[in-house]
A and B are shown apart, each in its own frame.
Chain A
Amino acid sequence: MNIKEKILNKIKVEDIKPTGHWQFVLKQIFVWMGVILLVVIASIVTSAIIFNITSTDWMLRPRLGWGIGRFFFVSLPYFWIILFIAFGAAAYYVFKNTKHGYKYAFPIVLTILFLVSVSFGVAWHKGFKSGEFIERRAMMHIPHYPDVMPGRRAIMFNPEKGILAGKITRTIAESKFELSDFDKQIWTVFCDDCRMPPIIKLDEDELVSITGEREAEFLFIAEEIRPMFGFRTMEAKN
């Protein structure tokens, strides 16, 4: 029996059938859906990066005594940047598994994926404020979230340098309230002569950034209270 006969015989004896055309089509649909899903996630992550960068409170820089370069690099949202790289890499890998994905060179695919993710990221950020939504949710609901953003944590939560941030948990009096910091420690904050823009209402669950002086353990005298993510987000919210 020659090789041709062996092959045909095996096909007949083992009743081997060609895989259905629909299965190949379905596989390609799944692969493309994977690419789209990963790009959408990468673009939402991009919106979180844009929000973090644009909402950095540069007024805190002199208090920390840092140079512009140091402040900028420390304030970068590395957690989201790493996530963006991870989803971008996954999107690249899945794209390479599309029918013609292998034909395109690495820099071309990477540039296209980057541009698409960033374009949609800007659109999400501008149109739906997804970056702010994600950041607020992450800050309030993801345990240890500030710990995975050590740079921003150091900028926003530095009581020794007179910077405090967190969520208002209870209003005790007109100029006195309790605040839960990034470590869930409760601080009593006095705001007798502090500057506070009228858009801040000191309501419960409000995320605020405070500058002033630590008077004692978990006791803080505020000089100024600002929205945690900058005035623009607060203005937009109101």
Chain B
Amino acid sequence: MQLNKNCDQKSDEELIILALKNQDYYACIVDRYEKKIANYIKRIAGLNNEDTEDLLQDIFIKVYQNLNGFDPSLKFSSWIYRIAHNEIISNWRKKKAKPQFVGGEEIDEFLDNIASEMDIHKDVENKSIYDDIKKVLKKIDIKYREVLILKFLEEKTYEEISDILKKPSGTIATLINRAKKQFKKETGKMKIEF
């Protein structure tokens, strides 16, 4: 598709301007972020594929409706994650279902990233650790779990997390520190060794 070829060379900001003039260009934005946002939904909300798809659709419709409200001083990815975050929370409230952290191979990725920041020696061969880590992450408060996911799975910077969660950078740093402490405390309680 000619449109798709053009999309790859364009920045997010250029695509927004084009999508506002011609909605076909919105397909490029959806293409670019569909997978990332779907993963984010699964990581935070722990929904099944069908519910993830429904929520993803709602998020992209919301993004389209708010294209004119995009603040160019932010990264577009932060802005779209912010809308996703708000929709996930609102969906969670509607369904009154507690967000779950989904693991599998993602635990490995998570551990890789968090291990580099904490004094953890990750044993990649020990797959039984996955279930334990899942249990630990389930025990961690949602506000801490969310920043851990954004930092160590989505690999966002403090600035980006601040823009996504609409909290000052200092607060984000504090939340991440506390989250790491809680993570370490819970793993200690469960006698998990890495």
Q: Does B104 contact A (CB under 8 A)?
A: no
Contacts of A17 in B (CB 8 A): 65
Mark interface residues in B59-82 (1 if CB within 8 Å of A CB, else 0): 011001111110101000000000
Tell me whether B57 and A10 are in contact (CB under 8 A). Answer: yes
A17 to B68, CA, bound (A): 10
Cβ of B112 to closest chain A Cβ, rounded Å: 29
A1-51: which have CB < 8 Å to B? Answer: 3-4, 6-8, 10-12, 16-21, 23-24
Which chain A residue has the least Cβ–Cβ distance from B165?
A102
Contacts of B168 in A (CB 8 A): 102-106
Q: Does B14 contact A (CB under 8 A)?
A: no
Contacts of A11 in B (CB 8 A): 23, 26, 61, 64
- How many pairs of residues, A versus B, come closer than 8 Å at their CB atoms? 64
Q: Does A70 contact B (CB under 8 A)?
A: no
Mark interface residues in A95-120 (1 if CB within 8 Å of B CB, else 0): 00001101111100000000000000
The interface on chain A, measured as residues whose beta carbon lies within 8 A of the other chain's beta carbons, has a size of 23
Contacts of A20 in B (CB 8 A): 68
Contacts of A24 in B (CB 8 A): 68-69
Partner of B34, one of A3, A10, A100, A102: A3
Q: Does B171 contact A (CB under 8 A)?
A: yes
Partner of A10, one of B31, B61, B68, B73: B61
Interface residues on B, range: 20 to 34
A200 to B38, CA, bound (A): 78
Partner of B68, one of A19, A102, A105: A19
Partner of A105, one of B27, B56, B69, B171: B171
Contacts of A99 in B (CB 8 A): 71
Which chain B residue has the least Cβ–Cβ distance from A104?
B168
Tell me whether A16 and B68 are in contact (CB under 8 A). Answer: no
Q: Does B8 contact A (CB under 8 A)?
A: no
23 sampled A-B residue pairs with Cβ under 8 A: A3-B56, A4-B30, A6-B57, A7-B26, A7-B57, A8-B24, A10-B57, A10-B61, A11-B23, A11-B61, A18-B20, A18-B64, A19-B65, A19-B68, A20-B68, A24-B69, A102-B166, A102-B167, A103-B168, A103-B169, A104-B168, A105-B170, A106-B168
B contact residues vs A (CB 8 Å cutoff): 20, 23-24, 26-27, 30-31, 34, 38, 53, 56-57, 60-61, 64-69, 71, 73, 162, 166-171
